[in-house]
Amino acid sequence: MNYTRAVLALGSNLGERSDTLSSAVADLVDPPEVRLLAISPIVQTKAVGGPPGQPDFLNMVIAVETSLLPEGLLRHCQAVEKKHLRVRGVRWGPRTLDVDVITYGDLASADPELTLPHPRAAERAFVLYPWSLIDPAAELNGERVGELAARAADFADLVPFDGFGEPHGVAGAES
């Protein structure tokens, strides 16, 4: 059976955000067709886009290897979102869980259902920074994800989240 490495980004800004992310990771890697390779620390971020006044997001990235085809992986991610009561209302609105397929091997696709690599990942520190922590050599569009993260408009708003008390600032991020 052939396995392909994929990077998935998870986010939550409604409900028990940390618990949702933890159980979503378990759900994502539950079937034998999806194996967990790496899991990033969680970062807390302001909502990017969407309606104003949203609660902060918790975000993380996981690397997996999967025997699912890209469309099958997308359907699996959407099923996990649904299990965690994701409601698709307002674009970029608040949600219990968001799971995005960021990369699927080296596949490039302009399919509107699943554009790969994810079309906005290269400008989102909340995806790039956690990804760089689990794979410092990772590249997106020919550039290291850590370098892209440092240039992203939302980089200064990232704070590590340990689940206890107030989060602390990311080293190198300026307030």
* pLDDT tens profile 114-170: 999 999 999 999 999 999 999 999 999 999 999 999 999 999 999 988 775 444 444
Predicted confidence (pLDDT) at residue 81 exceeds the cutoff of 70: yes
100 noted as active-site residue? yes
What confidence tens digit (pLDDT) does each residue in 21-47 have? 999 999 999 999 999 999 999 999 988
pLDDT at 87: 65
Q: 19, 56, 88, 98: which is the annotated catalytic residue?
A: 98
- The residue annotated as part of the active site, out of 17, 75, 88, 100, is 100
47 secondary structure, DSSP code: -
Q: What was the pLDDT predicted at 48?
A: 75
- Establish whether 95 is a catalytic residue: yes
Catalytic residue among 17, 27, 86, 124: 86
Which residues, other chains included, contact 161 with Cβ-Cβ below 8 Å and sequence gap of 6+? 18, 41, 42, 43, 44, 58, 167
Is residue 78 helix, strand or coil?
helix
Dist. CA 174–CA 37, nearest whole Å = 31
Q: Catalytic one among 17, 95, 124, 154?
A: 95
Q: Tens of pLDDT along 83-106? A: 987 666 655 567 889 999 999 999
